[in-house]
Structure 1
């Protein structure tokens, strides 16, 4: 089974670098991925966070679509609580019309930033957390030109030839069930895994409603990876990413990627050392000769043929080399 491989690009910044540098790296990575044969690339949304350069994945997606030829491109994802369903549907239909069969609308329920950022995005009004699935329903109605809350309201452009792919992002059973009930794709974040990993994806596949948005399920699993010529280098290259995951778990704003030596100095003897190395163990770390088998094992675990690869590294050359090694091995 040949895997469909995609990239989850968070536009990571590095210590001493800039968000502009991170965004330029994202453009270069997408052009490489398009030529190399990757199936898709999706962009995350973060606000007020030093670690990641992109706050507008829909804009970055539009730029990348204009610079590539065949690869699917999209959001991974838009944090719905910060925007209206109507506006999301409008730009999704525009990109879906201009780039038919290539644009992906990935949607998520996470805040996309810490408290102050979410407050600023919502004009300092309280966020209604229970309305996210309702927003998904509204977006689908606007895209399919079905009757919505506002009778007769259209979302331009109308009469689109191809409905854009919709991905519902999640890491639990509730999100899986919502994606299945609405007939949209499901992207499971294995790198944020809890004990309900395969139970979540099994729920999606077994409960998928083929009479809704799409007639066939689409399951992608997002995994964190690091590949180098030897295991020690691959592990050290993943230190910065693992440290960001640790900070996120502790509801801290992740820092820009740090050199591996700096992370090592912070972690050794630290109260969080054991948790850090457990996070590191969950990243797929291997050499070019073994990485294909490791990824196939992960795909078989979840009963899917599509993996989305996350790789944040201090040196951009190491990040590119990881993706090169994986696509060559596949």
Structure 2
């Protein structure tokens, strides 16, 4: 079965380079490759105050890539809502949806997008108001659909757009699935973060989806982490750097640029973190191109969707690109 393969690009910085500028150039080049190779979509994440990722502004990167491509869908995965007003998000989302009809996807997330100091700086050095982010989603939808909102008569330009942007609610649990279903928006499930009860979560989204709200039918996307190489052992070792970043995030430590497998073994083996590291590593799908693609087909069947988003951060950019090249070739 042919899949709708997409790319989740975090603009990873490698320890071999340690340059955000190089990571951003890689992101642009990856988008151009993805367009030519036939990928369905490419989406950009948001991170603040960390050395691991080169982009802090997925909406800007999405706009640049939209201007350089003609077919591929481009989006945010996602905008960290607690750091911005609903009104401003709706304004630039409508602008991109107007200029790039049916190509821009607005992915929204509830995570802070960075550690404490970064979040404080984003919020004018004030503690974040832990308001209901579901309410902010409602406000964004009101501004996009030009419905009556908090401020009487307030418009979000551009108005009267012909095609509303597709909205994806990011999450990895039942609460986010229910929220997406209740508001009739798409749901992007982060299986690389939580696959234990993933099928229950996504089935609930599909079952409870309200077709009377924003969209007329559900749109389920599943994000997985992958690593492809000529043999399974090399693919596994190529995935070490990504797994170590995941581990650091779980431990609320600022992720470092992608390290080599040798560096990580020196840090991990024989320490208290060894068991947890390999547990995290097991969430990544690795192997040769045929075996990984077969597992992606199994993911598609398990979650009842053909929309699969691929995340791959590696020490060497050529290994990351090779992973995407091999998987899209198997999808033809």
Flag whether TM exceeds 0.5 (same fold).
yes
In the alignment, is the contact (CA less than 8 A) between 1:291 and 1:329 conserved in 2?
no
Tell me the equivalent position of 1:170: 171
How far residue 292 of structure 1 moved from its aligned partner, in angstroms, is 1.8
2:8 aligned with 1:5, yes or no? no
TM alignment of 1:39-58, pairs within 5 A: 39-58=40-59
How far residue 298 of structure 1 moved from its aligned partner, in angstroms, is 1.1
Tell me the equivalent position of 1:179: 180
Tell me the equivalent position of 1:99: 100
In structure 1, how many angstroms separate the alpha carbons of the residues matched to 2:71 and 2:261?
Answer: 35
For residues 148-178 of structure 1, give each alpha carbon's deviation from its aligned partner in whole angstroms, at most 9, with x where no partner exists.
Answer: 1001000000010100000000011000000
SS at match of 1:21: helix
Which of 286-295 and 69-78 deviates more? Answer: 286-295
In structure 2, how many angstroms separate the alpha carbons of the residues matched to 1:315 and 1:205?
Answer: 38
How far residue 289 of structure 1 moved from its aligned partner, in angstroms, is 2.3
Which of 4-13 and 258-267 deviates more? Answer: 258-267
In the alignment, is the contact (CA less than 8 A) between 2:233 and 2:287 conserved in 1?
no
RMSD of aligned C-alpha atoms? 0.8
TM alignment of 1:187-198, pairs within 5 A: 187-193=188-194, 195-198=196-199
Which of 129-138 and 53-62 deviates more? Answer: 129-138
How far residue 197 of structure 1 moved from its aligned partner, in angstroms, is 1.3
TM alignment of 1:201-240, pairs within 5 A: 201-240=202-241
In structure 2, how many angstroms separate the alpha carbons of the residues matched to 1:279 and 1:287?
Answer: 20
SS at match of 2:131: helix
In structure 2, how many angstroms separate the alpha carbons of the residues matched to 1:108 and 1:230?
Answer: 35
How far residue 195 of structure 1 moved from its aligned partner, in angstroms, is 3.2
- Unaligned 5+ segments in structure 2 are none
In structure 2, how many angstroms separate the alpha carbons of the residues matched to 1:36 and 1:29?
Answer: 10
Tell me the equivalent position of 1:18: 19
How far residue 131 of structure 1 moved from its aligned partner, in angstroms, is 2.3
Question: Which TM-score applies when normalising by structure 2?
Answer: 0.98
Question: Which TM-score applies when normalising by structure 1?
Answer: 0.99
How far residue 129 of structure 1 moved from its aligned partner, in angstroms, is 2.1
How far residue 194 of structure 1 moved from its aligned partner, in angstroms, is 5.5
In structure 2, how many angstroms separate the alpha carbons of the residues matched to 1:96 and 1:289?
Answer: 36
In the alignment, is the contact (CA less than 8 A) between 2:238 and 2:314 conserved in 1?
yes
Aligned length: 330
In structure 2, how many angstroms separate the alpha carbons of the residues matched to 1:270 and 1:65?
Answer: 45
Tell me the equivalent position of 2:304: 303
Tell me the equivalent position of 1:114: 115
In the alignment, is the contact (CA less than 8 A) between 1:19 and 1:52 conserved in 2?
yes
Tell me the equivalent position of 1:292: 293
How far residue 130 of structure 1 moved from its aligned partner, in angstroms, is 3.0
Which of 152-161 and 286-295 deviates more? Answer: 286-295
In the alignment, is the contact (CA less than 8 A) between 1:226 and 1:286 conserved in 2?
yes
In structure 2, how many angstroms separate the alpha carbons of the residues matched to 1:264 and 1:235?
Answer: 13
For residues 191-224 of structure 1, give each alpha carbon's deviation from its aligned partner in whole angstroms, at most 9, with x where no partner exists.
Answer: 1115331111111000000011100100000000
In structure 2, how many angstroms separate the alpha carbons of the residues matched to 1:194 and 1:119?
Answer: 31
Tell me the equivalent position of 2:248: 247
In structure 2, how many angstroms separate the alpha carbons of the residues matched to 1:276 and 1:261?
Answer: 14
SS at match of 1:48: coil
SS at match of 1:327: helix
In the alignment, is the contact (CA less than 8 A) between 2:187 and 2:219 conserved in 1?
yes
